[in-house]
Structure 1
Amino acid sequence: MALWAKARVWMAGPWLSLHRARTLGTRATPTPKAVLPFEAVPRCPGHRWMRVLQIWKEQGSENIHLDMHQTFQELGPIFRYDVGGRHMVFVMLPEDVERLQQVESPHPRRMFLEPWLAYRQDRGLTCGVFLLCGRVGMRTEGAGSLGAERKPAREDPEARLPGNHPGGWRDGDHWLQMQILPIPWGSCVPWGGGGEPGPFLQGQKKKDDACRQGARTCTGLRGACVWVGLLPSSRNGPQWRLDRLRLNPDVLSLQAVQKYTPLVDRVARDFSRALKARVVQNARGSLTLDIRPSIFHYAIEASHLVLYGEQLGLFAQHPNPDSLNFIHALEAMFKSTVQLMFVPRSLSRWTSASVWNEHFEAWDYIFQYANRAIRRIYQELALGHPWRYSGIVAELLMRADMTLDTIKANSIDLTAGSVDTTAFPLLMTLFELARNPEVQQALRQESLVAEARVSENPQRATTELPLLRAALKETLRLYPVGVFLERQVSSDVVLQNYHIPAGTLVKVLLYSLGRNPAMFTRPERYQPQRWLDSRASGTRFPHLAFGFGVRQCLGRRLAEVEMLLLLHHVLKNFLVETLVQEDVKMIYRFVLMPSTLPLLTFRAIS
């Protein structure tokens, strides 16, 4: 498309005055006649295992979005990036997103999150659609090539593992994952690290529980030993699609939005009333506070009501301690995910044992929190209590076209994914409106004009508040809560005139895409109107904060409704102010979040 092609002409000069930016990196790659090989893709300097060491030393990678942003300036709009055993290609132009969409398979794949899968494997739990459709194959670990993909030692029938698959055997709906370790022949040891020799497989399927729990055992391949773990199998592609199609009607469809929007509106009104009660208690008619805890309570309260049909009473003076613990568990889970996701488990289990314990304990609490609610719903429906719409989980149980374990798995994914991803964009929107009072006033005027119609039918908020919807897009352009979009390409593809082979993990950096001056005029400015002006960039380039294609975020419409209605009720009742005009430092902890947020003042509007 010609519109996408315009994005290839970058504006000269650095984007955000980053150091050492070169003119070479400010223009898209010229298009020669011959497609260049994959090896010619510019490579980000640095050693992949030194990056792992740095992540371990710093307990995360909080500035990865800034590091990648600067690398684009230095190397151009595409580069290769290796960290540990992971090999990736980064892009940041919309034309490359469009190309990824064109070659997308019916079962799109992305990088699997080994820490999340490891927890579910260890606890014997079903995976939801967020984790299904992972990579299939054998991960080998040996001297000099830790984590690299490679074939068995001998390409003969004896070297192939059972199940006619070179990388493992089928166990139910999974392939057992083989990690080959350079251990001398016959000296296999159990996973726990003790001295007892492990049993020989010798080409036979292992059926005992030690295998399922992650034991090292001999494959019969000379000089090699394996760690057995679970990876989603190729069946996960069709299974992912089947589960996703069954979830969409009750989560993502417009009919579902119509059902749960009144529930979200109830919580948004409760939030506004609770905040107003605190404001009027102050003789000055205003309240200055750290609004972050209140916004997190709102996100949990709204999501819990929509999913499970229950209100938690988090706006009371003394909130439910279980919900506070749930927030802490989410924070610990996301932080530990970044610390573990790039380091092979066979290594991190020794170097980061305490982090693994923290990660598992956080997930334990998240699962317990959600399971309690699911059990209550299940019992009430089983007892035949009078039924009316009471949330997504009840709808899924009543529909009865998914197993209870699958419903639980996806409900917990939605529970864990519906808090931070809603709360942080709300916080950054309130901050931007506080330091852009003219934008705030325009949004307030829109909300006041639409108040009667939205109050009569909250579902009208999505059509009656176009500028407020544009403001949320603008927030997510500047502060994308999910920094990366990723696809493991299922077929060969050409990006920026480089051949990208099938199986390559391609990551789109939304942080850089949203700050490219060739696409967004004065990208550092907060200008929601750009998404409504037919001549502006917002209408020419897609809103990608929730992903694209059939694998876009399952909870995107719930998140949009939660953010839209909260801001609508807050803007009707309060002026939001701040003394701070400087940008907020954003850090990456699996989601992009502010390191600190300035105090905000809420002044009641009579």
Structure 2
Amino acid sequence: MARWSMWRRRVTLPRSWMEERAASGVQYSSSSTPVIRHSESGSTVKPFEEIPGLWKNGVVNLYNFWKLDGVRNMHHIMLKNFNTFGPIYREKIGYYDSVNIINPEDAAILFKAEGHYPKRLKVEAWTSYRDYRNRKYGVLLKNGQEWKSNRVILNKEVISVKMLENFVPLLDEVGQDFVGRVHKKILRSGQNKWTTDLSQELFKYALESVSSVLYGERLGLMLDYIDPEAQHFIDCITLMFKSTSPMLYIPPGLLKLVGAKAWRDHVEAWDGIFNQADRCIQNIYRELRHDSGSTKKYPGVLASLLMLDKLSIEDIKASVTELMAGGVDTGYFAMCVADFYNSAVDAVRTGQTPQPSGGAEGRSGGSPGGQSGRHVGDPEADSSGQSCSEGNTEVKETLMPDFTDVNVVTRSVTRF
């Protein structure tokens, strides 16, 4: 989801201002706008316009963002801005006005102040497609009471401890297949190692895992041959992320008006994603008609919601497709970043330059890519199981990065 994060909230206030609240007696409502009242000392909350940053000329900022290849270098740009303006700064790129937060403590203050109906981030590209096709918004895009009622139902079916127990066998099966695939590739190489663009493999692993849990069926992405229908689904997801990026800063309505390729691609991508959901729903109903009741395997979130019959089919379809997009994006990118940080730790020890798994490009550009040159199973790795050679990371008998003690903060935190 390109640039959606806990930092990008419509309005928030610096920690120092929050501390002033206690002294000045300023109160806040659950909405985005602070409710200001004077204390006995006469002090007030600082106005929104005093938040430092680059927000006075969105068009100029968009040009500079494009000149700096901002989609690929967003992390560098944000780091520079945080160093320049402090832990909270305001930014306007094109039509997109936002406030960025880097300190987890400040984000916690913001989330606690959101109230029962938080004002949720509106992804204009996604909502514009749904309006164009007259489709329902899912739980990631809804607000207010409608979001709350959907979220309460999904809480029980998606994130309750009882339901999470059903996910473990499905995820374990995909994980075992992923491990088996890597070992098979190592054996086939004849060199006791496998050199590949690992970002592609992590993307397929994330999509296979999420599809198994949500749709209750495997796509076969751990196989050497991928079914054309599954490949089309992958292409649609990749295209959806890629076409979302420019519409974060350029109004989708304008791109639609001029018939821009980014808009056409976006419509085509979401059409394919929703068609996949339609096909899965048809399969579920077909299986339910022939089910004798002997099957005890968890059928997936989609089937569970359909059988629960508390949401309309269109509401279910909308929420499941959005959960799929958020789950693949967050899972894939987090693994790429963790893989990079794992390589960086080894690079510090060896004095080499770590190479990313293509995660940054895949994230911002919407498709997994980059030349990671990742080597798995190299027999010449040292006793720690890792070594660096010519800027590439070679990992002996190591399939995934060590997630222990890896504190990864990504810019995409999908909160549904």
1:17-96 aligned at under 5 Å gives the runs 35-44=45-54, 47-53=57-63, 61-96=71-106
Count how many residue pairs are aligned between Structure 1 and Structure 2: 338
Q: Which of the numbers 93, 97, 110 marks the counterpart of 2:120?
A: 110
C-alpha distance in structure 1 between counterparts of 2:397 and 2:84, whole Å: 49
Please point out which of 260, 272, 286 is paired with 1:353: 260
Answer whether contact 1:421 1:591 (CA < 8 A) is retained. Answer: no
Aligned counterpart, 1:317: 224
Compare 378-387 and 359-368 and name the one that shifted more.
Answer: 378-387
> Contact 1:60/1:335 (CA < 8 Å) preserved in 2?
no
Q: 1:289 aligns with which of 192, 196, 199?
A: 196
Q: What is the alpha-carbon distance in structure 1 between the residues aligned to residue 367 and residue 108 of structure 2?
A: 24
Q: CA 1:35–1:127 in 2, change beyond 3 Å: closer, same or farther?
A: closer
Consecutive unaligned residues in structure 1, runs of 5 or more: 9-31, 134-236, 439-524, 527-577
Q: TM-score, normalised by structure 1?
A: 0.50
1:538-571 per-position Cα deviation (integer Å, ceiling 9, x unaligned): xxxxxxxxxxxxxxxxxxxxxxxxxxxxxxxxxx
What secondary structure is seen at the aligned counterpart in 2 of 1:418? helix
Corresponding residue to 1:244 among 151, 157, 163:
151
Alignment of 1:423-438 (within 5 A): 423-434=332-343, 436=345
Query: Aligned pair in 2 of structure 1 residues 282, 131: CA closer, same or farther (>3 Å)?
Result: same
Q: Write the letter of the residue equivalent to 2:99.
A: V
- The verdict on how the C-alpha distance between 1:579 and 1:417 changes in structure 2, with shifts beyond 3 A counting, is farther
Secondary structure of the structure 1 residue equivalent to 2:71: coil
Give the Cα separation in 2 of the matches to 1:250 and 1:579: 48
Corresponding residue for residue 407 of structure 1: 316
> In structure 2, do the counterparts of structure 1 residues 432 and 89 end up closer, same or farther at CA, with 3 Å as the change threshold?
closer
Measured at CA, do residues 369 and 425 of structure 1 come closer, stay the same or move farther in structure 2, by a change above 3 Å? Answer: same
Q: Distance in 1 between matches of 2:317 and 2:88?
A: 39
CA distance in 2, matches of 1:594, 1:413: 22
Partner of 1:600: 375
1:341 aligns with 2:248: yes
Tell me by how many angstroms 1:255 deviates. Answer: 0.8
C-alpha distance in 1 between matches for 2:352 and 2:235: 27
Moved more, 396-405 or 585-594: 585-594
Give the counterpart of 2:327 among 418, 427, 435: 418
> 1:473-509, CA deviations, whole angstroms, 9 ceiling, x for partnerless residues?
xxxxxxxxxxxxxxxxxxxxxxxxxxxxxxxxxxxxx
Partner of 1:582: 354
C-alpha displacement of 1:48: 0.9
1:129 aligns with 2:36: no
Asked if the contact 1:299/1:419 (under 8 Å) is kept, the reply is yes
Letter in 2 for 1:280: L
Match among 273, 276, 292 for residue 369 of structure 1: 276
CA distance in 2, matches of 1:114, 1:605: 44
Deviations 1:117-136 (A, max 9, x none): 11111111111100101xxx
In structure 2, do the counterparts of structure 1 residues 430 and 41 end up closer, same or farther at CA, with 3 Å as the change threshold?
Answer: closer
Residues 64 and 335 (structure 1 numbering): CA distance in 2 closer, same or farther, change over 3 Å?
same
The 3-state SS of whatever aligns with 1:589 is helix
Cα 1:292–1:579 change in 2 (3 A) is farther
C-alpha displacement of 1:106: 0.6
Find the residue that maps to 2:179 and give its secondary structure: helix
**Distance between the aligned counterparts of 1:117 and 1:45, measured in 2?**
24
Q: Does the aligned pair in 2 maintain the 1:397–1:407 contact within 8 Å? A: yes
Structure 1, residues 134-161: CA drift from partner, whole Å, max 9, x if none? xxxxxxxxxxxxxxxxxxxxxxxxxxxx
Equivalent position amino acid for 2:303 in 1: A
Query: Which secondary structure does the structure 1 equivalent of 2:316 belong to?
Result: helix
Q: CA RMSD in A?
A: 3.3
Secondary structure (helix, strand or coil) at the match of 1:423 reads: helix
Distance of aligned partners of 1:337 and 1:291 in 2 relative to their CA distance in 1, 3 Å threshold: same
Instruction: Report the TM-score when normalising by structure 2.
Output: 0.71
Query: In the alignment, does 2:90 pair up with 1:98?
Result: no
What percent identity do the matched residue pairs reach? Answer: 31
Q: Distance in 2 between matches of 1:51 and 1:132?
A: 29
Unaligned runs of at least 5 residues, structure 2: 1-14, 20-41, 379-395, 399-416
Any idea what SS the aligned residue of 1:61 has?
A: helix
Instruction: State which structure, 1 or 2, has the greater radius of gyration over its C-alpha atoms.
Output: 1
8 Å CA contact 2:340, 2:354 repeated in 1: no
How many Å separate the matches in 1 of 2:165 and 2:96?
Answer: 42
How big is the shift at 1:74?
1.4
1:119 and 2:129 are equivalent in the alignment: yes
Distance 1:93 1:435 in 2: 23
Give 1 or 2: higher helix fraction: 2
The question of 1:272 aligning with 2:282 is answered: no
Deviation digits for residues 6-64 of structure 1 (CA, Å, limit 9, x no counterpart): xx9xxxxxxxxxxxxxxxxxxxxxxx965333232223276212234556788973323
SS of aligned partner of 2:54: coil
8 Å contact 1:59–1:339 — kept in the other structure?
Answer: no
Specify the code of the residue in structure 1 equivalent to 2:83: Q
Report how far residue 391 of structure 1 moved.
1.3
| Deviation by residue 1:263-295 (Cα, 9 ceiling, x = unmatched) | 111111112122212212333322222223322
